[in-house]
A = this chain, B = another copy of it.
């Protein structure tokens, strides 16, 4: 932590700050600059409350030097993490493809989709049983019944399964039926839910919040890991910007940034970020080309009749074409698929 004093700070102002720091068991280094004096703090900054220092006389600004997340931080865990889920694993060397409908609509539908995505090379079946919807009058999901169908579809095809959870009750149900749980964008800073997901011990896919910085996102992952659960995968799914041509703006450079800051695997969701099936194939290729560990793609047997998010879903034919086209990209980046 660095403390920048205002111009004209007196010796007494400076020693008030340095005394406060020393009283908390840390040390200081002073730099008397031409315009301002800077105080470097040495020691465990968790022992200090930066806000308190900001109130001292003639303190101008306080700058953090180290990140507040530790367990998710590559600095303290340089090797990339690979996470086992069912028969598959997410991370280095593999390209994970999670595919399936936005919402589980019926058992027959789900099993049909599961077989189709399996055949095209997916290793995960995704499907929503609890749907967070902007309007209270939109379809809200089949809940536990949907989870049971996910389990059956997983058993029948051998695919690993993943479902979004929106509450403690949903987590308790999900652990009985699926292999991995997902925290959605709208719940990325629902800290109660993050802690529960951590305690569940299940692998967790953590989607980025619509306006979350990468730093806040990694702090959210830290909530899960701090409960003793290291099995966290990050999913970039678009951020909110002024542009309206796409539903959200896919922040593709988050992939290399995350690869530099964290050891956790990173996947990309081209369906929710763009909001249109037309843009999914090009964005999927871009994601693989720049180093993503996987993709989450919405696939539906009949997008034109989907109960939710049809416009961004691929049909079976388009999904098969995409996975075929992705294979040589995987070879180029050295991933099995």
Query: Which residues on A are within 8 Å of B, measured CB to CB?
Result: 2, 4, 7, 29-36, 38, 40-44, 46, 49, 51-52, 54-56, 63, 65-66, 68-69, 75, 132-137, 140, 166-168, 186-187, 189-192, 195, 210-211, 213-216, 219, 222-223, 226, 239-246, 249-257, 260-261, 273-274, 278-279, 282-283, 285-291, 303-311, 328-329, 332
Q: Collect the chain B residues with CB atoms within 8 Å of residue A192's CB.
A: 166-167
Query: Given B41, B260, B286, B305, which contacts A289 in the complex, CB threshold below 8 Å?
Result: B286
Contacts of A289 in B (CB 8 A): 282, 285-286, 288-290, 329
Write out the residue numbers on chain B whose beta carbons fall within 8 Å of the beta carbon of A329: 289, 329, 332
17 inter-chain pairs at a CB distance below 8 angstroms, sorted by A residue, are A29-B30, A33-B65, A52-B306, A63-B63, A166-B190, A186-B189, A211-B211, A213-B242, A241-B242, A243-B254, A245-B257, A246-B257, A250-B251, A250-B253, A286-B290, A289-B289, A329-B329
Tell me which of B210, B291, B311, B332 contacts A282 (CB under 8 A): B291
> With a CB–CB cut-off of 8 A, which chain B residues contact A279?
253, 256-257
- Contact yes or no, A213 B36, CB < 8 A: no
Q: Pick the 3 closest A-B CB pairs, nearest first.
A: A31-B40, A29-B31, A211-B211
Question: Which residues of the other chain, B, contact A307 by a CB distance below 8 angstroms?
Answer: 49
State whether A35 touches B66 (Cβ < 8 A). Answer: yes
| B42 engages A242 (CB within 8 Å) | no
Known A33-B65, A328-B332; further 11 A-B contacts with Cβ < 8 A: A31-B31, A34-B44, A36-B65, A38-B40, A132-B191, A211-B242, A240-B242, A252-B286, A253-B273, A260-B278, A332-B332
Q: Report Cα–Cα, A133/B220, bound state, in Å.
A: 10
Query: Could you tell me the distance between the alpha carbons of A216 and B210 in the complex, rounded to whole angstroms?
Result: 13
A136–B70 CA distance with the chains assembled, in angstroms:
11
Residues from chain B with a CB closer than 8 A to the CB of A246 are 253, 257
Alpha-carbon distance between A140 and B210 when the two chains are bound, in angstroms: 24
Most buried by B among A30, A41, A242, A278: A242
**Residues of B contacting A52 with CB < 8 Å?**
304-306, 310
With A29-B32, A239-B241, A285-B289: A38-B54 Cβ-Cβ less than 8 Å? no
Q: Determine whether the beta carbon of A54 is less than 8 Å from that of B310.
A: yes
Give Cα A7–Cα B257 distance, bound, in whole angstroms. 18
Q: Which residues of B contact A244 (CB under 8 A)?
A: 213, 244
* Chain B residues within an 8 Å CB radius of A288: 289
Assembly CA distance A332 to B327 (angstroms): 11
A256 touches B283 (CB 8 A): yes
Separation of A47 and B178 alpha carbons in the complex (Å): 33
Inter-subunit contact B242/A4 (CB<8 Å): no
Contact among B68, B136, B186, B241 for A249, CB-based, below 8 A: B241
Least distance between A309 CB and chain B CB atoms (Å): 7
